[in-house]
Amino acid sequence: MNSLGEAARAVLLTADPHAKRRAARELARAWRRGDLAHRCDVAMPDQPAWPEYPQLLPPNRMPSRRKGGSERGRIAMLHALAHIEFVAIDLAVDLVGRFGGEFPRAFVDDWIGVAADEAMHFALLDRRLRTLGSHYGALPAHAGLWEAAQETSDDALARLAIVPMVLEARGLDVTPAMITRFEGAGDTVSAAILRRIYRDEIRHVSAGTDWFNWACDEQGFARTLTWQSLVKSRFRGGLKPPFNDSARHDAGLTQEYYAVVAS
């Protein structure tokens, strides 16, 4: 029987975006069928395989995006979101393959499901880009999204603190305004896709918070103080308001975690 680690590594080393999307969903199906042993016995790559395009640029070289009023601006925004979802597939799979052996099977159940969600989100966004005459890879993309994985490759608690509880939680803060902009431009199809992603991301942040809390309890750590310490030491950017306190609360990420460290 193949191991969970072997299957996760194979997904990470798949470069073609559509093949990676399919591989992530097949990983989820294989795990649910019981075809994979709960062993994380192979090393995860430091860097996943990615396609030649999009061209990846540092944040200070990324072209500025308009707020979504024009079709060109909406395409740029959808492309940026597609890249986030593409990298999110690897973030979820790496979390499982790197740290899944440290947690109960329910942890793998949750994060395998997240990986499948991210693959579906990417497919929806790429399909929408094609409908609008573009595609994933047509525009430059942010090069720094994998940095959080590199900074937390040694510590499951740090990974959970930064990726779902900071980066995905930021998506909860900004997505409602994006939905409003797309609706204001009459692009109800894109708005509906973002609304679907937003609902799923609340569940993802909830999974991150729940498993972070579980790991803290197992090790006898104070939950909020540990999270705050990890964010200060492992996250290069500050936490900037405004925050979507309601959605964060629904995900279990209450203000006692982030209010103290917000800049």
In order, the DSSP letters of 66-117 are --SSSHHHHHHHHHHHHHHHHHHHHHHHHHHHHHGGGS-HHHHHHHHHHHHH
CB contact set of 154 (below 8 Å; sequence gap of 6+): none
Residue with tokens 């998506």: 171
Let me know if 229 is exposed, middle or buried by CB neighbors in 10 A (0-12, 13-18, 19+).
middle
Q: Amino acid identity, residue 85?
A: E
| C-alpha–C-alpha distance, residues 54 and 96, integer Å | 26
pLDDT of residue 64: 67
Task: Return phi, psi of residue 262, to 5°.
Answer: -70, 140
| C-alpha–C-alpha distance, residues 197 and 194, integer Å | 5
Task: Return phi, psi of residue 136, to 5°.
Answer: -65, 130
Task: Return phi, psi of residue 56, to 5°.
Answer: -100, 130
Q: 129 with 71: CB under 8 angstroms?
A: no
pLDDT of residue 67: 54
- Tell me the two tokens of residue 254: 């209450």
pTM of the complete model: 0.96
| C-alpha–C-alpha distance, residues 160 and 216, integer Å | 11
| C-alpha–C-alpha distance, residues 89 and 1, integer Å | 24
To the nearest 10 degrees (0 to 180), the angle between helices 17-33 and 105-131 is 150
Q: Amino acid identity, residue 62?
A: M
- All residue ranges of the chain with pLDDT < 70 are 64-69, 263
**C-beta pairs of 254-260 under 8 Å, 24+ apart in sequence:** 256/224, 257/165, 257/223, 257/224, 257/227, 257/228, 258/169, 260/228
Q: 66 with 73: CB under 8 angstroms?
A: yes
* Cβ count near 246 (within 10 Å): 11
Residue with tokens 């649910």: 32
Predicted confidence (pLDDT) per residue in 55-113, tens digit: 999 877 777 655 556 899 999 999 999 999 999 999 999 999 999 999 999 999 999 99
